[in-house]
Structure 1
Amino acid sequence: MRYPNLVEFEVFGDYGLFTDPIFRVGGEKCTYQVPTYEALKGILSSVYWKPTIIWYIDAVRVMHQIQTEVKGIRPIRYNDGGNELAYYTYLKNCRYQVRAHFEWNENRPELSGDRNENKHHEMAKRMICKGGRRDIFLGTRECQGYVEPCTFGAGEGFYDTLPELSFGLMYHGITYADESYSPETKDAMTARFWYPAMKQGIITFPRPEECTIHKHLRKMPMKSFGEGNFQVCGNLGR
């Protein structure tokens, strides 16, 4: 399905580390072979984000061969603040084409006055051309990334002729309270999982509500936006 507010961009960097944040509690880390839905959504949110909209990642195209590199890291220990030796497995020479669109956040009726589709679409495309509003990271902060506009499907990708490649059970993303879509996800933080398959180099993502495997993490009330919040922000800006 083609959406009127579609955006297409390329994200690339020397290294990437895409992991399940549920298990990111220290020790050694090993990347997934491809970026997760949540990581790509985070990249696009760094480019342009407003609470009025929700970004949906439609597809990602893997342009370069999947390669990994192991590095020795000295992370901080959680118990005493000292350092320990760990080995992180990164993806290297990363380049991906991404197709995405946005929809209105129906959980934010107080922001309905900001639902100007053409405005947000044009601003998002302009921010992609400028490389984003905030820094871009490929999974983790030490993996600096860059974005630029592209035509999804243009150019030659390494896996264009590969019929299909499956990756097993994989983390899809987290549903936060302000993006809930069902009674089960309302006022809660919920992790989603799925079984991705790459066909001719392209992974087509299901929508969050289409993921069949969920894990309830904890209760999370939705933050409200009201006159009091805007007044505080206004005073701080003076």
Structure 2
Amino acid sequence: MQVWGEGALFTRPELKVERMSYDVPTPSAAAGILESIFWKPEMAWRVSCIEMLKPIRQFTFRRNETIDLPSLADAVTGRRKIDTAAHRVQRNAVCLKDVAYRIHAQVELRDRATKPVAAYRDQFRRRVTAGRCFSQPYLGTKEFTAYFGDPTPDPPIDLSADLGLMLHTVDRSTEPLSFTWFHARMSNGVIDIPLEGIPVQPQPVGAV
């Protein structure tokens, strides 16, 4: 399917304070877009390829954030109120401007699945064509709405680059969160995604 928007912010997790976007969507961000359109507990999305349809352009902006973050248990139960006014900080973000991508993905069935892969794939395609979604998809952060539709024949951009180490998946079942990574390369506007990432510890950007 195809997604596009006025801006995007696929935050690099190794940057703890100022937000800086990867040049392209991460596989986990792309999977999140697919899940917002169609998802069932008996299936999962595996992103296999991302095509860049517009050149990489950046812009910066400053926004207010809070450093008073609740634990997952407090967020679920609502036991603790968040004082955003007293814990507000201003942070810069380096974002992407005027983006468009074509996402290729496969449905992976879990043990509880009662339908063949084709059934889930066809349901997803019907929802994309009709413009339906479970929740509004976004491009990295909720400030940047993702619009979506059927793929067009537009070719990817004519750009090849070594994008370096990139986030592959986030395991939210661990405390703290654990990550896997992969070495991302773009060939003529196409980024192929490996089946699995590797659990390495990236160095902060700018570290010697």
The question of a shared fold, defined as TM-score above 0.5 by the shorter chain, is answered with: yes
TM range (shorter): 0.7 to 0.9
- Distance of aligned partners of 1:55 and 1:71 in 2 relative to their CA distance in 1, 3 Å threshold: same
1:172 aligns with 2:162: no
Query: How far is 1:21 from its partner?
Result: 4.4
Q: 1:156 to 1:122 in 2, by over 3 A?
A: closer
> Structure 2: which 5+ residue stretches go unaligned?
70-82, 202-208
CA contact (8 A) 2:61 2:93 kept: yes
Q: Any stretches of 5+ residues in structure 1 without a counterpart?
A: 1-8, 178-184, 216-238
Q: SS at 1:192's partner residue?
A: strand
Q: Does 1:213 align with 2:205?
A: no
Partner of 1:122 in structure 2? Answer: 122
In structure 2, what is the Cα distance between the partners aligned to 1:77 and 1:190?
A: 21
Q: Within the alignment, does 1:146 sit opposite 2:147 as a pair? A: yes
Aligned to 2:38: 48
Give TM-score scaled by structure 1 length. 0.70
Q: What displacement does 1:103 show?
A: 1.4
Q: Which has the higher helix share?
A: 1
Q: Do 2:12 and 2:19's aligned partners in 1 also have CA atoms closer than 8 Å? A: no
Amino acid at match of 1:136: P
Give the number of the structure whose alpha-carbon radius of gyration is greater.
1
The code of the aligned residue for 2:162 comes to: S
Kept in 1: contact 2:107–2:117 (CA 8 A): no
Q: Is the 8 A contact 2:60 2:95 kept in 1?
A: yes
1:119 Cα deviation after fit: 2.2
SS of 1:39's partner is: helix
Indicate the residue corresponding to 1:156 in structure 2: 155
Report how far residue 68 of structure 1 moved. Answer: 0.7
Are the equivalent residues in 1 in contact too, given 2:56–2:96 (CA < 8 A)?
A: yes
* Match among 58, 62, 82 for residue 52 of structure 2: 62
2:183 aligned residue:
195
Assess if the C-alpha contact under 8 Å between 1:43 and 1:137 holds in 2. yes
Give, in angstroms, the shift of residue 20 of structure 1. Answer: 3.5
The offset of 1:72, in angstroms, is 1.4
Deviation at 1:115, TM superposition (A): 2.8
